[in-house]
Structure 1
Amino acid sequence: MSDIGSKNGHVPNARLEETTLSTNNIFSGKIISLQVDTVRLPNGSTATREVVRHPGAVAVLALKDQKMLVVDQYRQPLGRCEVEIPAGKLEPGEDPLEAAKRELEEETGYTCGSIRKLHSFYTSPGFADEVIHLYLAEDLTRGDMNPDEDEFLEMAEITLEEAYQLIQEERISDAKTILAVYAWNMYSLTGKI
């Protein structure tokens, strides 16, 4: 296991690498595309891999007066509403920091005096290349919400205890928001994330 981990985050391990032999583009939509790759496995045999391509996204842990800003929004794949932190996809060539500021203002009406990147993480590396850049926004100033024309949501401010209750109730069940709640808890206990 000595090949796991490095300063730059990526260590090649030739013993496990797969070689792409061909790619069949199946679907290209507004947000995602789907391809099926034929790959050569380390043992020489072949397999197929279904891959979802995504432009990436940003998410914002926005804190105001010991509360976190969240939005309640209907999620078609789940068939129900989900409470989440403000988030959205990156536009082509868009800087993630600027996207985070834009999404915060669009979905909550707030701007921030302080914002910093916490982490970037892949949502489902077994089949998708989507990466989410998570930011911490503080020193918030209220303004007007300006969601996308096909985006219907309600903004709320919740305490850490309420966030944990919403996780228990599975009203918060997405990875980015759960990660943000745990990061917020650490921040409230130690002053560091």
Structure 2
Amino acid sequence: VDLPAGLIDGDESAEDTARRELEEETGFTCNSVRRLAASPTSPGITSEVVRFYRAEGVRRVGKGGGVGSEKIEVHTVPLADIRKWLASRKELVDVKIWAGLYFASQST
């Protein structure tokens, strides 16, 4: 289980990447994205930065599932139910998911 994510292509902005990955991986598009937070993943080791965005005005335009060899199963879970849904799966959950949910809960 993961949030939509991906690498920034060339001169693409982080916001455009967030919108592109949302559509490629989930089949949803949005009117706008709002950055909630950004942070290095491993300061001093890598220059990677994780950015959390909230998609607004979301609507389904395709089936999602990724591109190329990606085989992504899309789960649509209401934000109010996500903690219970994640716990029911009995899997380890990436800390970035919990961080993203926290930031989303603070941004309403």
Per the shorter chain, which TM-score range? 0.7 to 0.9
Q: Does 1:153 align with 2:63?
A: no
Contact 1:118 1:136 in 2 (8 A): yes
Give matches, 1:1-193, under 5 Å: 83-144=1-62, 145=64, 147-160=66-79, 162-165=81-84, 166=86, 171=91, 173-187=93-107, 191=108
Q: Which amino acid aligns with 1:163?
A: I
Cα deviation digits, residues 114-158 of structure 1 (max 9, x gap) = 311111111122422211221110211111126221211111111
2:79 & 2:23 partners in 1: Cα distance? 22
2:88 & 2:43 partners in 1: Cα distance? 26
Q: Which amino acid aligns with 1:101?
A: R
Q: What is the TM-score with the length of structure 2 in the denominator?
A: 0.82
Instruction: Report percent identity of matched pairs.
Output: 34
Q: What is the count of residue pairs matched by the alignment? A: 106
Higher helix proportion (structure 1 or 2): 2
Q: Which amino acid aligns with 2:102?
A: Y
Higher strand proportion (structure 1 or 2): 1
| RMSD between aligned residues | 2.2
Structure 1 residues 141 and 161: alpha-carbon distance in aligned structure 2, compared to 1, 3 A threshold = closer
Structure 1 residues 109 and 172: alpha-carbon distance in aligned structure 2, compared to 1, 3 A threshold = farther
1:133 & 1:153 partners in 2: Cα distance? 21
Deviation of 1:176 after TM superposition, in Å, equals: 2.3
Q: Which amino acid aligns with 1:181?
A: L
Structure 1 residues 118 and 151: alpha-carbon distance in aligned structure 2, compared to 1, 3 A threshold = same
2:87 & 2:103 partners in 1: Cα distance? 14
Greater CA radius of gyration, 1 or 2? 1
Q: What is the TM-score with the length of structure 1 in the denominator?
A: 0.49
Contact 2:65 2:73 in 1 (8 A): no
